[in-house]
Amino acid sequence: MDGEFVDPPLSSSTVEVSPAPSFKDQAPPQKVKRWGAKKVAEDLAQQNTELRDIIARHNLEDIVELARSKARLEQDVARNEHALLAIQQDAESTNAQLINVRATAAIQNTGLYDYEHPAESSAKLKNELEAVRTEVKRLAREKQAIRASSGFTFNNSAKEGQKFVKQMSTVMLRAYNAEAENCVKAVRAGNLETATKRLDKAREMIERNTVLIDLHINNKYHSLRLQELQLATLHLQAVAAEKEEERARREELREQKKAEAELARKKEQLDREKARYEETYRQLVEQGDSEGAERIQSKLDELSEEQHRVEEYEANFRLGHVYVISNLGAFGEGVVKIGMTRRQDPMDRVRELGDASVPFRFDVHAMFFTEDAVGVETMLHRHFADRRLNKVNGRKEFFYATPDEVLRALHEHNVEVVTYETVAKAEEFRMSSPKITNE
CB count within 10 Å of CB 379 equals: 17
For residue 95, pLDDT over 70 is answered with no
For residue 377, pLDDT over 90 is answered with yes
In this prediction, residue 17 carries a pLDDT of 42
For residue 413, pLDDT over 90 is answered with yes
Angstrom distance (rounded) from CA 132 to CA 121:
15
Burial class (CB in 10 A: 0-12, 13-18, 19+), 217: buried
Q: Is there a contact between 238 and 122 (Cβ–Cβ < 8 Å)?
A: yes
In this prediction, residue 438 carries a pLDDT of 45
**Top-confidence range, 32-46, 201-215, 230-244:** 201-215
- List all residues 6 or more positions away from 419 whose beta carbon is below 8 Å from its beta carbon: 121, 122, 123, 238, 239, 242, 366, 368
Q: Is there a contact between 321 and 368 (Cβ–Cβ < 8 Å)?
A: yes
In this prediction, residue 274 carries a pLDDT of 92
Angstrom distance (rounded) from CA 308 to CA 297:
17
Among 253-257, 278-282, 343-347, the range scoring the smallest mean pLDDT is 253-257
Claim: this prediction has a pTM higher than 0.95: no
Angstrom distance (rounded) from CA 10 to CA 435:
67
In this prediction, residue 355 carries a pLDDT of 79
Angstrom distance (rounded) from CA 364 to CA 325:
5
Q: Is there a contact between 135 and 197 (Cβ–Cβ < 8 Å)?
A: no
Alpha-carbon distances, residue 368 vs 10, 35, 348 (angstroms) = 91, 109, 14
For residue 204, pLDDT over 90 is answered with yes
Determine phi and psi for 340, rounding to 5 degrees. -140, 155
Q: What three-state secondary structure class fits 351?
A: helix
In this prediction, residue 395 carries a pLDDT of 74
For residue 340, pLDDT over 80 is answered with yes
In this prediction, residue 225 carries a pLDDT of 96
For residue 172, pLDDT over 70 is answered with yes
Label residue 439 by pLDDT band (50, 70, 90): very low
Among 2-6, 195-199, 383-387, 434-438, the range scoring the smallest mean pLDDT is 2-6
In this prediction, residue 259 carries a pLDDT of 59
Position with higher pLDDT, 127 vs 252: 127
Position with higher pLDDT, 5 vs 214: 214
Position with higher pLDDT, 83 vs 277: 277
In this prediction, residue 366 carries a pLDDT of 94
Among 89-98, 228-237, 328-337, 403-412, the range scoring the smallest mean pLDDT is 89-98
pLDDT digits (tens, 9 = 90+) for 175-194: 999 999 999 999 988 899 99
Mean pLDDT of 81-105: 68
**With pLDDT > 70 as the criterion, what percentage of the chain qualifies?**
80
Q: Which of 404, 409, 369, 418 is nearest to 385 (CA)?
A: 409
Element (H, E) at 340: strand 335-341
